[in-house]
Amino acid sequence: MNYSKSLTGLALLAAATGCSKRQEAQPNIVFFLVDDMGWVDSEVAYGTEVYPNNQRFNTPNMRRLAEQGMVMGNAYACAVSTPTRTSMMTGMNAAHTRITNWTSIVRDTPSDATGGALSMEINRTGAEAPSGELLRPDWNINGISPVEGVPYTQVCTPMAQLLKDAGYYTVHAGKAHFASAGTPAANVYNLGFCVNVGGTMAGQPRSYQGRDNYGNTPELWNHCAVQNMTEYYGTETHLTEALTREALKTLDYPVSHGQPFYLYLAHYATHTPIQPDERFVQKYRDAGMDEGQARYASMVEGVDKSLGDVLDYLEAHGLSENTIIIFMTDNGGNAENKQKGGIPHTHNKPLREGKGSCYEGGIRVPMMFCWPGRVAAGSRCEVPVICEDLFPTILSMAGVRDYETVQDVDGQDLVPLITRGEGVSAERELVFHYPHKWKPYDLVDIDYLSAMVKGDWKIVYRMLTDEVELYNLREDIGEENNVAAQYPEKAAEMARGLSDKLRGWNAAMPVVAATGEAVPMPDHLFEK
């Protein structure tokens, strides 16, 4: 008996008898999430013009995807990783989950750089944080939880669980970082994934290098050592390549059974440590980039190669027509870390600042949708969208309707927008909230910021100095010209909008050290 023939026979039988109905209505979905890659750092021009970096990075497969799908010109995520990931998994804004910072390895341990103990030995270096004027807020430091009763968590019905319940084969590959160790959501099996490759409570890899066993050596090990990669120990296989191969292996089962899959391929790259992908780094050095920039560019190209491998896999298996691909990054490019080379705080030019910040460099992210037959190839959409929209959007794509969740979903289904250009207002209020101190040293354009985007307008609330700034993003994407004084009524309206949102979500606010009171909402600046 020939088994491949036998399986084909069964698939035909299933088709003949109607058993495959579910599959026809359920496209496969690949969510390809990149970490810390900047908005301008690829061949795809997300902006309305082409910036210098768009021409420095070699990403033919991102371009290939853009040509097959829709580029989102105004897509947003949170300023750091866990809030974006947990917002997508819950459909809630980060101010609403109260998960506004990255979750620590160790549970019940705030990751804030002041006002609480740091959580990992790897971050303890230089961690004698200056005592600030603001103290850390009471946020959900343990992340999300699929069950009640875990302290400092947002309880949720996770997106992956709804997909699995609807028949999807759900694969997690790469970085998870949804919750701290010792809580249920540190284990993605509890979030509805059927398979997990390499996802833990860690937000970064100990090493990207196979020759380092990805950190699994006596010299290197800490909790960021990557799990499930034993096959590649002692080899020259970069983690991005290894994760891609492993992720595609896990699709064998659903593909051979004709069952729909959801592949969440969340690369650790390009998070620190910035280490070269040896396959690509030399040409960037040769092009004159400094070593940090060259390494980062090689990591971007490694991710691009991974995307190409996924696209090739889908084509080789005849799945391209029935597979949706979502491409996105989890926050803005890191513009602060010395490993990345370049001039600090300039990496995302023309955008202001980078990861950690509520300025555009921290929250404006690459995003693309490829959906053959439904989303126009080579198209663009300029309506602002935000990470929590992915929750209802992905469930809508999967045909999951009228589901019940324990949480209140804030995001909006983008399917009408991307397929027919309707259904999502360009004037929605999109909120960003980072009531934290990021690093032991002060970062004035990162620490303690809130912001709201509404159409062309953006307000930034600087909690530490208790002032607001107003920008017109259409005219000033670089947020160089604060026009709050020029448009006081718009500033007040935006401040009220942001304040109402934060109040409605009972958002966590820092505490003023001198008074013990929470930082007030920005609309207090416009009272009287």
- Tell me the closest approach of the beta carbon of residue 372 to a second copy, in angstroms: 25
- Tell me the closest approach of the beta carbon of residue 375 to a second copy, in angstroms: 25
Q: Where does 317-397 have alpha helices with state H?
A: 360-363, 390-397
Question: Taking Cα atoms as reference points, which of 58, 11, 458 lies closest to residue 289?
Answer: 58
Which residue in 259, 272, 322, 472 binds a second copy (CB under 8 A)?
Answer: 259
Cis peptide before 273 (omega within 30 of 0): yes
By rule CB under 8 A, what string of x and - marks binding of each residue 22-61 to a second copy? x---------------------------------------
Look up residue 202 and give its amino acid.
A
Which residue in 38, 146, 184, 522 binds a second copy (CB under 8 A)?
Answer: 184
Q: Is 194 a residue that touches a second copy (CB under 8 A)? A: yes
- Tell me the closest approach of the beta carbon of residue 218 to a second copy, in angstroms: 6
Rounded CA-CA distance 87/505 in Å is: 13
Query: Rg of the chain's alpha carbons, rounded to an integer?
Result: 22
DSSP 209: B
Rounded CA-CA distance 45/37 in Å is: 14
Q: Is 235 a residue that touches a second copy (CB under 8 A)? A: yes
Q: Is 227 a residue that touches a second copy (CB under 8 A)? A: yes
By rule CB under 8 A, what string of x and - marks binding of each residue 163-182 to a second copy? -xxxx-x-----------xx
3-state SS, residue 18:
coil
Give the number of other Cβ atoms within 10 Å of residue 219's Cβ.
6
Which residue in 125, 131, 230, 515 binds a second copy (CB under 8 A)?
Answer: 230
Q: Are 102 and 434 in contact (CB under 8 A)?
A: no
Indicate the residue among 235 and 482 with the shorter CB distance to a second copy. Answer: 235
Indicate the residue among 228 and 320 with the shorter CB distance to a second copy. Answer: 228
- Tell me the closest approach of the beta carbon of residue 261 to a second copy, in angstroms: 11
Q: Is 149 a residue that touches a second copy (CB under 8 A)? A: no
Q: Are 385 and 76 in contact (CB under 8 A)?
A: yes
By rule CB under 8 A, what string of x and - marks binding of each residue 341-380 to a second copy? ----------------------------------------
Look up residue 255 and give its amino acid.
V
3-state SS, residue 524:
helix
- Tell me the closest approach of the beta carbon of residue 250 to a second copy, in angstroms: 7
Q: How many residues bind a second copy (CB under 8 A)?
A: 59
Q: Is 3 a residue that touches a second copy (CB under 8 A)? A: yes
Piece of 189-197, 428-436, 460-468, 502-510 that binds a second copy (CB under 8 A): 189-197
Q: Angle, to 10 degrees, between the axis of helix 81-90 and the axis of helix 390-397?
A: 40
DSSP 185: G
Q: Is 195 a residue that touches a second copy (CB under 8 A)? A: yes
Q: Is 212 a residue that touches a second copy (CB under 8 A)? A: no
Piece of 39-47, 57-65, 76-84, 187-195 that binds a second copy (CB under 8 A): 187-195
Which residue in 68, 104, 140, 250 binds a second copy (CB under 8 A)?
Answer: 250
Q: Is 18 a residue that touches a second copy (CB under 8 A)? A: yes
Q: Are 454 and 500 in contact (CB under 8 A)?
A: no
Which residue is associated with the tokens 């209140």? 408
β-partners of residue 169 are: 261
Residues contacting 43, CB < 8 A, separation 6+: 54, 55, 57, 58, 59, 60, 62, 63
Indicate the residue among 221 and 441 with the shorter CB distance to a second copy. Answer: 221
Rounded CA-CA distance 426/447 in Å is: 28
Strands 75-76 and 364-365, sheet pairing:
antiparallel
Which residue in 133, 231, 312, 408 binds a second copy (CB under 8 A)?
Answer: 231
Within a 13 Å sphere around the CA of 276, how many CA atoms are in the beta-carbon half?
14
Q: Is 444 a residue that touches a second copy (CB under 8 A)? A: no
Which residue in 64, 73, 106, 290 binds a second copy (CB under 8 A)?
Answer: 106
Q: Are 447 and 519 in contact (CB under 8 A)?
A: no
Q: Is 216 a residue that touches a second copy (CB under 8 A)? A: yes
Handedness of CA 481, 486, 490, 494 (dihedral sign): positive
Binding positions for a second copy, rule: CB under 8 A: 1, 3-4, 6-7, 10, 13-14, 17-19, 22, 106-107, 121, 162, 164-167, 169, 181-184, 186-187, 189-190, 194-196, 200-201, 213, 216, 218, 221-223, 227-228, 230-235, 246, 249-250, 252-253, 257, 259, 400-403
